[in-house]
Every structure is written in structure tokens, then in C-alpha cells.
Amino acid sequence: MPLRNMKYYAGQSLYSVWRNKLMSLISMSTVCFCLILLGVAILIGDNLQYISQQLQAQFEIQAFMDSGASQAQVSEMEKQIKALAGVADVVVETPEEGIEWFKQEVENGAEAFEGLEGENNPLPYCFKVTLSDASQAENIEKSIQSMNQILQVNNRRDVLNSIVHFTKGIRWVSLAGMLIFALIAVFIISNTIKLAVMARSREISIMKSVGATDWFIRWPFIIEGAIVGLIGAVIAFFPVFFGYRGIAHWWSGLLDIVKLVDANAILVYLILAFCLIGIGIGSIGSIMAVRKHLRV
Amino acid sequence: MILFEHVTKTYNNNVKALDDVSFHIRKGDFVFVVGHSGAGKSTLTKLILHEEQPDTGYIRVGDFDVTKLSRKMVPYLRRSIGMVFQDFRLLPNKTVYENIAFAMEVIGATQRQIRRRIPDVLSMVGLTMKAKCYPNELSGGEQQRVGIARALANNPQLIVADEPTGNLDDETAWEIMAILDRINKYGTTIIMVTHSQKIVDEMQKRVIAIDRGKIVKDEQGGYTYENQVSEDTVFDFTYTSQKQGYGDILKELEALNINIHHGDE
């Protein structure tokens, strides 16, 4: 579309938003409400994921080598495990370190494990595998299990699984809620645009009779919907962002072990998501209205 | 300029709005289309503008084969036609100048083209001094002249005027006719749908008379189709599909000196 048309469309759209103040306001509020919900859903989801990542770092899969494996075999195995997808780090614990651990952590260990060093050490080499992605735990475990010279794999999968499920559950619920409100917003915007179409029916009939193209007639309405959606999105951004920043600040003073996602780190991502979804909802609503009520 | 060949158009209610209609209008012609309400006059203009499509037959308007016109091309057909309406269809919140500019803007004319063209069309209808007025500051005749100026703005080869004098008193109607006649003399083809016997008689142009979807007369001269009607046709009042009441039709028929036959006579 030529530039001079753009100017015309924008002027028409803004004028129409202003003329239908009340309906525009209602539409904006719905988009705004929908996006606040979406924001809350995104933030909860992101934080749950972030928190579970932090917790995962504290879980590890332990894999034991066959006893009697050579140093070279152990380092070869270490490389293989590191190469698996979802593995954050692998720490090798030598039999000596294992015995030291037992001596220190078990009651009276110093005496009980006396004499098991060196040649007499029954412990195998142990790989302590930390994960970067908890949902991969099962696969990683299976892969390690299937490697040669692995004696046994221990895990904390039950705990990991419940975290993964919980995170996914919250995501789905918030997504469903957001979707419902998005539909309501689309419906209300569609109605607003319908009113705008009717208010301009005379202009439209003149435009048609002098030979304006279909899209020339449609664009201002679609842009109007997009503008309404965008304004709603911008309004929604402020309470979500600053509200979250407040909560994150408060939380950081409260708990130091588990952190929340840094508010400033998600600023751009949040703005972009809000604007795109706002414009999307607005345009879909107006395209529906234009298709239904604008006979061109 | 306009060619109708065996055009038939039936609406959903099985009323034949046009029934095997054929005619040819040459470039530069001035043609009146007459007939009572529901005879098929508005269907005729709708077909020319591609607001309706015929069931059968062939229609050509200028270089456009209207019967095979794709949706995308419809606006370009309409750009070659200037429409003048009975109710003027001006935008009340725009000045005379803006109303005409609007018709040019929406088909993508530049501001430069608009600034050049509007004084020309305003002088053609004698409204140069009223460019800054709003429609409600103008008389009915002046508003219709704005309507004509707007129709001329995009330099169409054809003007279709649907009852342009229908809302005006006699004197004003003559002003409008004088303007249309002048535009025609400059070479623009004009089709005017009208009820006014006086105008048709006075102008002595080609007249196409339609009755019940058929062309009952197509010749140069006045509004003589009432003879045809009274001889050949028994009026059936239930037939009239448009809003007009019985009384209006009676008045109209009286104005036309039509003898009313009752069905059983």
C-alpha cells in the first residue's frame, strides 16, 4: 500500500477510535485484562521453570562404574556422559574420595571404614551427573544405563517428575484462562468495529460507488482494531511489569536460596509479547467484523 | 459504451426484474430510463455497476465485460462511472471541497491532482464560491450539484444518475438538467433514471421504457410509454415490490394519464 494511503488509514482509524470512545474503552479494558492474565501466567510459568532449574542443580544422577575399570575407561565414560543432551555437568568421584565421604559423613565412619583404602577399596568410580533440563532425566538415565561398564544408576526422578508435572500443569491452566479471555476480547473488539462500520456506512457506500478497492475500505477498520489492541496491551504492561518487579524485590529480601527471574531481564520480552498479542487480538477481532459486516 | 444482450435477472422471490433485455447505448448518448416502481430500472443500474449479476445474458460497459468481471476489477469498472444519487449522498461533516476530494482520495489520487481537479468540476456545476460550505448550508439543488461535481471528479466516461431530480422542486430540477445536458455536450455519456414526465418530454432525448422487466419502448422523444402501457398492460398492484403505497401509485398513474383497468373488465 502506498505511503499516502497509510496516512489516510491511520487518520481514519484514530478518528474512529476517538468517535467510538466508550466502545473503544471497553475493548481496550478487555484486551488489557486479558493481557494482565497472560502476564501473570507467563511470569508464574517462567518462575516455576527458573525455580525448578535451580532445584534441579541440586539433584543429580549417580552412575557407578564396574569396579576394576581403568582410569582411561573412566575418563572415556565421563566424556560420553557429558555429551548427552540435558547434562549440565559431570563430576567424577574416585573410590578414594568415596571412602573419605563415608568416613566423614557416617557416624563413627573413621573407624568403620578403616583399612578400606587403596587396594582394599570396594567402591567403584562414581559419576555425579547434574542436569540442565529436568524433563530429560529419564532419557539421560536410560542412556547411561545402556553404556558398557555401568554397574548401577541411582536417581531422584520421583521428585523431579512432580516438579516437571506441576510446572506443566500451571502453564496449561494459565494458558487456557488466557485463551478464554482472548476470545472474549476478540468478540468485544469485533463488536466495536461493527459499530464503527455502521457509523461510517454512508462513507462506505460512497467509497464503493466511486470505486475504492475492497482493501482500501477495510484497512482503516483493521488498523482501528489493532490500535485498540495495542493501547490495551501497553496499559496492561505497566501493572504487570511493575507489580512483578515489586514482588521480585520483596522475594529477594525474603529467600536467598531460590531466586525469582530478574524483572529487568524479561522487560523486552514482555513488552514485545504484549504488543504482538494485543495487536493480534485487535486485528483478528476487526477482520472478523469486517468480513461479517462490511459488504464490499 | 453500454451493451446489454438478452439480459435476464431474477431475484430470490422469483420476480423477474429484467426479462431478456437488450439495448445498446453509444458513447456520448443521453438516455432516459423510465418505468414505474418495480419495473426493473434500479436493477438495470445495479447491473451496470456490478452490484448485481445477471442470470443470463451479456453486459459490457466501456471496456469492461461486466458479466465476466472478477471481484478485483469491480472498483475499476466503478471508477469509469460517475454515480449521481437521488439523496445526494454527501458527507455532512465535510465541506463541498472535502466531499469531492474524498471521492478522489479513496481511489488514490494525489493531493496535487485533487487541488487541480476540484476547481474545474466546481466551475462546471457553478459552485466555485461554495467550496468551503458544508452540505447543510446549501439548498437541495446546490447539494445535487455537489453530487454531480463529485461524480465528475474522477473523469468518468459515463454518468449514471438515479432519479437525480427526485427530491427537488421543478425549477431546481431544470438547473440540474441543464448541467447534465452541458456535461453530455462535452462528450460524457449519461444514463438518467427518472419518474418525471415533464423532464423527459422537454429534453427530447432517447427514452428506454421498462415495464415488468421488459423494454416496452426504446426511441427518441418524450415520455409516451403510457400509451403502450394502457393498451397492452393491465396493472397488477400486488406486483409492485417497492415501498410505494397504493395511493402513491395511483397518483403516479394519474400524472401519467393512464387508464386503470380492473382485472375483471
pLDDT digit string, tens, across residues A254-285:
776 678 888 888 889 889 999 999 999 999 99
Q: Which residues of A138-158 are buried (b: 16+ CB within 10 A; e: fewer)?
A: eebbebbeeeebbeebebeee
pLDDT in tens, A102-155: 787 777 777 777 777 777 777 888 888 887 776 777 778 778 777 777 777 776
H and E: helices and strands count for chain B: 9, 10
**Nearest-CA distance B228 → chain A (Å):** 34
Tell me whether B36 touches chain A (CB under 8 Å). no
Give the one of A5, A210, A214 whose C-beta lies nearest to B103's C-beta: A210
Grid cell listed for A185: 476480547
Tell me whether B178 touches chain A (CB under 8 Å). no
More confident residue, B205 or A65: B205
Least confident of A30-34, A236-240, B3-7, B130-134: A30-34
pLDDT in tens, A197-231: 888 888 888 888 888 888 888 888 899 889 999 99
* Cβ contact B90:B99 at 8 Å: yes
Rg of the Cα trace of chain A? 30
Rg of the Cα trace of chain B? 19
What is the pLDDT at residue B65? 94
| Helix, strand and coil percent figures for chain A, each rounded to 5 | 75, 10, 15
Give CA–CA dist B234/B259, Å, rounded: 9
Give the one of A2, A8, A209 whose C-beta lies nearest to B78's C-beta: A209
Where is A272: in which H helix or E strand? helix A267-293
Give CA–CA dist A155/A148, Å, rounded: 19
* CB spacing of B75 vs A211 below 8 angstroms: yes
Q: How confident is the model at residue A58 (pLDDT cuts 50, 70, 90)?
A: low
Give CA–CA dist B99/B110, Å, rounded: 15
Tell me whether A213 touches chain B (CB under 8 Å). yes
Tell me whether B105 touches chain A (CB under 8 Å). yes
Phi/psi of residue B202, each to 5°? -70, -40
Grid cell listed for A57: 542443580
Q: How many CB atoms sit inside 10 A of residue A11's CB?
A: 11
Give CA–CA dist A190/A229, Å, rounded: 11
**Nearest-CA distance B95 → chain A (Å):** 14
Give CA–CA dist B153/B130, Å, rounded: 16
Cα-based distances in Å from B234 to A110, B219, B248: 125, 23, 18
What letter would DSSP give residue B205?
E
More confident residue, A7 or A246: A246
* Cβ contact A33:A41 at 8 Å: no
Longest dimension (CA), chain A: 102
Give CA–CA dist A44/B238, Å, rounded: 70
Tell me whether B106 touches chain A (CB under 8 Å). yes
What is the pLDDT at residue B242? 43
What whole-number percentage of chain A has pLDDT above 70?
A: 92
* Cβ contact A36:A236 at 8 Å: yes
Residue type for A89, please? Answer: D
Of all residues in chain B, the one with the smallest CA distance to A2 is B108
- With contacts defined as CB-CB under 8 Å, which chain A residues touch B72? 213
More confident residue, B101 or A18: B101
* Cβ contact A80:A147 at 8 Å: yes
Average pLDDT, chain A: 81
Q: In this complex, how many residue pairs, one in chain A and one in chain B, have their CB atoms less than 8 Å apart?
A: 52
The structural architecture, per CATH, of the domain B2-80+156-255 is: 3-Layer(aba) Sandwich (3.40)
Please check the confidence at residue A44 and state whether its pLDDT lies above 90.
no
- CATH of the domain spanning A60-155: 3.30.70.3040
Give CA–CA dist B115/B110, Å, rounded: 9
Query: Rounded mean pLDDT of A5-9?
Result: 79
* CB spacing of B103 vs A206 below 8 angstroms: yes
* SS3 call for A3: helix
* Cβ contact B40:B17 at 8 Å: yes
A93 bridge partner residues: A126
Give CA–CA dist A9/A232, Å, rounded: 20
Q: How many CB atoms sit inside 10 A of residue A190's CB?
A: 22
What is the pLDDT at residue B230? 42
Grid cell listed for A81: 556422559
- Number of Cα atoms under 13 Å in the Cβ half of residue B264: 0
Per-residue pLDDT of chain B (265 residues), as tens digits, is 899 999 999 988 888 899 999 999 999 999 999 988 888 888 999 999 999 999 999 999 999 999 999 989 999 999 999 999 999 999 998 999 999 999 998 888 999 999 999 999 999 999 999 999 999 999 999 999 999 999 999 999 999 999 999 999 989 999 999 999 999 999 999 999 998 888 998 889 999 999 888 999 898 877 654 544 443 444 443 344 344 444 555 555 555 555 444 433 3
* Cβ contact A65:A74 at 8 Å: yes
- Give domain limits for chain A: 3-54+168-293, 60-155
A81 bridge partner residues: none
Closest CA to A232 of A277, A295, A173: A277
ipTM exceeds 0.85, yes or no:
no
Give CA–CA dist A144/A126, Å, rounded: 12
Write the secondary structure of B218-257 as one string of H (helix), E (strand) and C (coil): EEEECCCHHHHHHHHCCCCHHHCCCCCCHHHHHHHHHHCC
